[in-house]
Amino acid sequence: MIDNIINEIEKLKEEKNAIILAHNYQPKEIQEIADFVGDSLELCIKASQVDDADIIVFCGVNFMAETAAIISPEKKVLLPDNRANCQMADMVSLEELKQKKSENPDSPVVLYVNSRAETKSEADIVCTSANAGKVVSSLDGDNFIFAPDYNLGTYSAKLSDKNALIVPEDGHCYVHTMFKVEDIEKAREDHPNAKIVVHPECNDDVRQLADYVESTGGMVRLAKDPSIKELVVGTEIDLATRLKRENPDKEFYPLRRDAFCLTMKLITLEKVFECLKEEKYEVTVDEPIASKARVAIQRMLDLS
Ligand code: SF4
């Protein structure tokens, strides 16, 4: 049954000249059928380079598909389930961001890629968790406006030695803020020989106790390091799935087994099949918004 559906997906992909991009948090079976699996930055770069496909099926959440639609406007971008959203991306409104800008007119605006297209259109530059420090360091001045993740905002301020004006003050990812100091302490006891890596969206007290702070792309590279034999992974649970698939002789332990991003798991093989067959759900961004957001995304890509 699973083999049948995978064959059908492969056939449709060829017929329609489609490519499947999947985020590192996608379930194992989706990672396995994808043409490319990566973090937000890698997927953004990939979407900007897909010259020979007509359709991009984006297995992830809506802001990722929107970003692909903005940077590849000539492609049809499809999201297999139109309810796959990111709670954090909706935590900052356009009005709040404009208010912060009017209060701090000299501060450049950095939008985390985990945000909606209309707020990105108000940004000077976009960043991901892989390049936030580098992006913020490239800006003039001591202050910068950052939205919508409080933890990534404070982390990039620390890396760049600048002051973050974060909006909203409670923007967060419910998955990464699940991790607590006690989880790190327990992991040290349970796996004394393992290193611990956590994501920059985690709270500062957790980040401080970890051995490394990395984006998921950084975690993929870290796992390949010959000095790493066992790794405790403080991010969404399916990243450990990818790490094990690519490094079968090493051990990976999720920092918490309940760290699921529920909307990432809405994508299934059946929905990918339907999506290709019916060409639904198409994600589009109005050109006046897209053209402004494209400038902010391109600035980030030029730094990468
Ligand atoms: S893990 Fe958090 S930040 Fe990432 S898509 Fe899910 S809710 Fe959004």
* Statement: residue 64 has pLDDT above 90: yes
Ligand 1, atom nearest to 149 Cα: 3
What does the block give as tokens for 64?
Answer: 């990722």
The pLDDT value recorded for residue 161 is 97
> What's the average model confidence in pLDDT over 286-301?
97
* Statement: residue 138 has pLDDT above 90: yes
Residue 5 has a CB neighbour count (10 Å cut-off) of: 16
The pLDDT value recorded for residue 165 is 98
Ligand 1 center to residue 88 CA distance, Å? 7
> What's the average model confidence in pLDDT over 28-52?
93
* Statement: residue 72 has pLDDT above 80: yes
For atom 3 of ligand 1, which residue has the closest CA?
173
* Statement: residue 133 has pLDDT above 80: yes
Give one word for 49, left, alpha or beta, with left for phi > 0 and alpha for psi -120 to 50.
Answer: alpha
User: Tell me: the pLDDT tens digits for 195-218?
Assistant: 999 999 999 999 999 999 999 999
**Tally of helices (H runs) and strands (E runs) in the chain:** 14, 12
Right CATH number for 88-172 from 3.40.50.720, 3.40.50.300, 3.40.50.10800, 1.10.150.130? 3.40.50.10800
Residue with tokens 């059946």: 270
For atom 1 of ligand 1, which residue has the closest CA?
261
Torsion of CA 240, 242, 245, 250, to 10 degrees: -40
The pLDDT value recorded for residue 3 is 85
Distance CA 197, CA 297 (A): 27
Helix (H, G, I), strand (E, B) or coil at 201: coil
What is the Cβ-side half-sphere exposure of residue 65, based on CA atoms within 13 angstroms? 27
Per domain, the residue ranges of the chain are 2-86+264-285, 88-172, 176-254
What's CA 8's distance to the chain center, in Å? 28
For atom 5 of ligand 1, which residue has the closest CA?
86
Ligand 1 center to residue 39 CA distance, Å? 12
Name the packing angle between helices 62-71 and 40-49 (round to 10°).
30
Ligand 1, atom nearest to 89 Cα: 8
* Statement: residue 282 has pLDDT above 80: yes
The pLDDT value recorded for residue 304 is 82
Q: How deeply is 242 buried, as exposed, middle or buried, from its count of CB atoms within 10 A (0-12, 13-18, 19+)?
A: buried
Ligand 1, atom nearest to 63 Cα: 5
The 8 Å CB, 24+ separation contacts for 136-142 are: 136/110, 136/160, 136/162, 136/164, 137/162, 138/303, 139/108, 139/110, 140/108, 141/106, 141/107, 141/108
Q: Judge if 2-86+264-285 and 88-172 fold alike in CATH terms.
A: yes
Residue type, 241: T
> What's the average model confidence in pLDDT over 42-52?
91
* Statement: residue 148 has pLDDT above 80: yes
> What's the average model confidence in pLDDT over 161-178?
98
The pLDDT value recorded for residue 34 is 97
Residue type, 4: N
As its CATH architecture, domain 2-86+264-285 has: 3-Layer(aba) Sandwich (3.40)
Ligand 1 center to residue 60 CA distance, Å? 10
Q: Where are the alpha helices (DSSP H) in the chain?
A: 2-16, 28-33, 40-49, 62-71, 94-103, 117-120, 132-137, 150-160, 181-190, 204-209, 216-223, 238-246, 269-278, 287-303
For atom 6 of ligand 1, which residue has the closest CA?
261
The pLDDT value recorded for residue 1 is 75
Ligand 1 center to residue 62 CA distance, Å? 11
> What's the average model confidence in pLDDT over 230-235?
98
User: CATH 3.90.1150.150: does it fit domain 176-254?
Assistant: no
User: Tell me: the pLDDT tens digits for 257-273?
Assistant: 999 999 999 999 999 99
Query: Which protein residues touch ligand 1 with a CB less than 6 Å away?
Result: 25, 61, 86-88, 114, 173, 175, 236, 261, 264
Ligand 1 center to residue 141 CA distance, Å? 30
The pLDDT value recorded for residue 51 is 85
What does the block give as tokens for 292?
Answer: 């402004």
User: Tell me: the pLDDT tens digits for 75-127?
Assistant: 999 999 999 999 999 999 999 999 999 999 999 999 999 999 999 999 999 99
For atom 2 of ligand 1, which residue has the closest CA?
173
Rg (CA), the chain: 19
